[in-house]
A and B are shown apart, each in its own frame.
Chain A
């Protein structure tokens, strides 16, 4: 049996414009991240979706305009840190604004949501997954701009809560094999 999946991705980037009086790190941005963040000075929220061409879609009470971006994978490790993620935009006005307002995408926070659609492109209930990242910069080429992020959890291994191996964590233990933590 063959099957088809349709996925819309919602890109919500919160940028903190760097000024002489604004903080030089994300610490204040994280503290201020709340429902009324958009009213905060120097903070802008950009919302885009990448499936419905030239359409504005409402999602979780907000409007997402179309932007032709694509996401590129992430690499996870046991420590939970240094998970890298990038969003690729064609070189257009939208992405220049994103980069400039976020201080070269170093003062930004991303909520990236994936939503599954049915064959008529109607959202499937319960098929919504969100991930959070913080900006670490941007890369430019002739035709594209790549916004780079790392995961919001910036763990330091020595301080990261220790997990002990148990049957509930790894399932049935094999007699001889490698163990993959889940």
Chain B
């Protein structure tokens, strides 16, 4: 996949990961009984919130360029290894691929526009939320 998230942006200072969900609709009757209908066999919508605290303008520039290279929230991409630094390769590969089989059935997207807070001269804190979506 073209335009992976730049590894040179480094390791994030904080990271929150939320598992993806499966397409299920739940009907709850008045008695409390539920019926679940499953619509697919792949999970989607995992989110990864990362924060780069007090990073240089060089890092800010890399992320800025990448955001525009994928046209914001338009195109998907692969995560960098550094984004998932600290995890074992086994787990990191599953998260990057979006499933336990590591078959790369998902791509990651910017869920929203990254937030940049200037903390000191030439230093910024950047908050990004990625979301995984099933690829075609």
Contacts and interface: CB of A to CB of B under 8 A. Distances in A.
Interface in B68-96: none
A6 B35 contact: no
Interface string B25-41: 00000000111111111
A4 B33 CA distance: 11
Contacts, number: 41
B134 interface: yes
A125 interface: no
B135 interface: yes
B135 A5 contact: no
B33 to A, nearest CB: 5
Contacts of B36: 2-5
B37 A2 contact: no
Contacts of A1: 33
A53 B42 contact: yes
A155 interface: no
B105 interface: yes
Contacts of B34: 2
A78 B37 CA distance: 30
Given A52-B41, A53-B40, A2 B33 contact: yes
Contact of B35 (A5, A52, A117): A5
Interface in A138-166: none
B37 A54 contact: no
B135 A54 contact: yes
A165 B88 CA distance: 71
A121 B35 contact: no
B38 A5 contact: yes
Interface in A1-20: 1-7
Interface string B16-60: 000000001000000001111111111000000000000000000
Contacts of A5: 35-38
A51 interface: yes
Given A53-B134, A54-B105, A54-B135, A3 B35 contact: yes
A50 B24 CA distance: 14
Tell which of A2, A3, A92 has the most Cβ of chain B within 10 Å: A2
Contact of B40 (A2, A3, A4, A51): A51
Interface of B: 24, 33-42, 105, 134-136
23 contacts: A2-B33, A2-B34, A2-B35, A2-B36, A4-B35, A4-B36, A4-B37, A4-B38, A5-B37, A6-B37, A6-B38, A7-B37, A50-B39, A50-B40, A51-B40, A53-B40, A53-B42, A53-B134, A54-B134, A54-B135, A54-B136, A92-B136, A117-B38
Interface of A: 1-7, 50-54, 92, 117, 121
